[in-house]
Amino acid sequence: MRALVMHEVGVPPVVEEIADPRPQRGEVLVKVVATGVCHSDLHVLKGELRFPLPCVLGHEISGVVAELGEGVTNVAVGDRVASPFIMPCGFCEFCARGEEDLCATWLAENRGKGALYDGTSRLAALDGSSIAMYSMAGFAEYSVVPATAVFKVPDELALEDCSVLGCATFTAFGMLRHAARLHAGETIAIVGTGGVGSAAIQLAGVFGASRVIAIDIRGDKLEAARLLGATDLVNAAEVDVGEAVRELTAGRGVDIAVEAFGHPATVESALAAVRAGGRVALAGLAPHGAEARFEITPLVRRKISILGSFGGRARTDMPILLSLAAQGRIDPGRFISRRYPIGEASAAFDALERGEVIGRSIIVADDAA
């Protein structure tokens, strides 16, 4: 099959022929229709996040089930499916408690070694040498995914668009539901309006937020945020974020501020925007070693909570997201602004690096391009 293989940090990945993957027990082979392009992929390409090489990136996919491994009963060949980037093992101490976003097996084997749960990858070069998998390695014609992370897509939804449910929307949902715990009537500021931030704006309305303040440094991204449901816009390149948010909230600050970019300056903006007693949720991955600074005493006196959030919980959250999309309460396609065939993946990464992408871009299969 054709796959986009990364061989060296800082060198664009190349499309090449590799061995056809096969699912093992408890796994599903998916013919990929679309894969989201995320900043996490870009961090790996630039060497800002460490990962084994060679590898295939791409960690939010939609597609069609092509083959089942032994023991799989939750989907059938031909089903339209979507998969989130966190692929829970289902058996570790965290999965047993329902905290699949902390799955120890996934973090150790997949994020740590580029393997699935028997300690080996399903990808190999034509000479038999192993190729690491970043989640399900979606920048390829086919992906092998644990059955715990494969979910049927309702017929009424565009399958291509549903790829972004697996990271952008999945991460935003986990951040709002499990970390920030947004309640109806609360106010929220969303710092960074890329893929995760755009999804969070849509979802904040679903959760019943009374005010959704979008914060970014680009006017075009802020205008797109308004179309997704932001009630107020703050351009951080033009005004002081803390002052602007307090002016919008009668001097109070927001109940919740979420950071969806992964940069020290945006973390500081989130802290400046939140009220006394409020919550700050951080969901943006940053380059290895990046640090944000804050003054300790005001944080203590104002009783501000800082919460980390990596993603959602696959087996409980993905069905909810698919149902919300089927009901029309969220629209994943609304924040997809660019679609590329796999042969133009380098252009997708270059646009992301330059900050040009509004919302999310996706890589689509050649027969879907």
Answer yes or no: do 210 and 349 share one domain. no
Domain assignment of residue 317, yes or no: no
Roughly what angle, to the nearest 10 degrees, separates helices 241-248 and 264-273? 30
Give the span between the Cα atoms of 344 and 363, in whole angstroms: 8
pTM: 0.95
How many angstroms separate the Cα of 28 from the Cα of each of 72, 76, 307?
A: 8, 9, 34
What SS3 state is found at 304?
A: coil
Domain assignment of residue 34, yes or no: yes
- Supply the pLDDT for residue 368: 61
Tokens 């924040």 belong to residue: 335
Answer yes or no: do 61 and 133 share one domain. yes
Answer yes or no: do 162 and 176 share one domain. no
**pLDDT tens per residue, range 249-296:** 999 999 999 999 999 999 999 999 999 999 999 999 888 888 888 889
Answer yes or no: do 152 and 109 share one domain. yes
Output the six-digit token pair for 200: 């969070």
CB 192 within 8 A of CB 259: yes
Output the six-digit token pair for 4: 């986009």
Buried b / exposed e over 144-164, threshold 16 CB at 10 Å, is bbbbbbbbbbeeebbbbbbbb
Answer yes or no: do 147 and 179 share one domain. no
Answer yes or no: do 162 and 224 share one domain. no
- Supply the pLDDT for residue 294: 87
Give the span between the Cα atoms of 91 and 95, in whole angstroms: 6
Answer yes or no: do 187 and 301 share one domain. yes
Answer yes or no: do 225 and 279 share one domain. yes
**Domain CATH number, residue 274:** 3.40.50.720
Could you list the residue range(s) of the whole structural domain that residue 295 is in? 172-308
Within 10 angstroms of residue 319's Cβ, the number of other Cβ atoms is 12
Domain assignment of residue 318, yes or no: no
Answer yes or no: do 189 and 144 share one domain. no
Number of domains in the chain: 2
Domain assignment of residue 320, yes or no: no
Answer yes or no: do 181 and 153 share one domain. no
Within 10 angstroms of residue 350's Cβ, the number of other Cβ atoms is 13
Domain assignment of residue 326, yes or no: no
Output the six-digit token pair for 168: 């952008």
Domain assignment of residue 324, yes or no: no
Domain assignment of residue 339, yes or no: yes
- Supply the pLDDT for residue 288: 86
Domain assignment of residue 242, yes or no: yes
Answer yes or no: do 291 and 345 share one domain. no
**Domain CATH number, residue 100:** 3.90.180.10
User: Which run of H or E residues covers position 200?
Assistant: helix 195-207
- Supply the pLDDT for residue 367: 72
Give the span between the Cα atoms of 357 and 334, in whole angstroms: 13
Answer yes or no: do 26 and 157 share one domain. yes
pLDDT in tens, the chain (369 residues): 999 999 999 999 999 999 999 999 999 999 999 999 999 999 999 999 999 999 999 999 999 999 999 999 999 999 999 999 999 999 999 999 999 999 999 999 999 999 999 999 999 999 999 999 999 999 999 999 999 999 999 999 999 999 999 999 999 999 999 999 999 999 999 999 999 999 999 999 999 999 999 999 999 999 999 999 999 999 999 999 999 999 999 999 999 999 999 999 999 999 999 999 999 999 998 888 888 888 899 899 999 999 999 999 999 999 999 999 999 999 999 999 999 999 999 999 999 999 999 999 999 998 764
Q: Are strands 80-83 and 142-146 parallel, antiparallel or unpaired?
A: unpaired
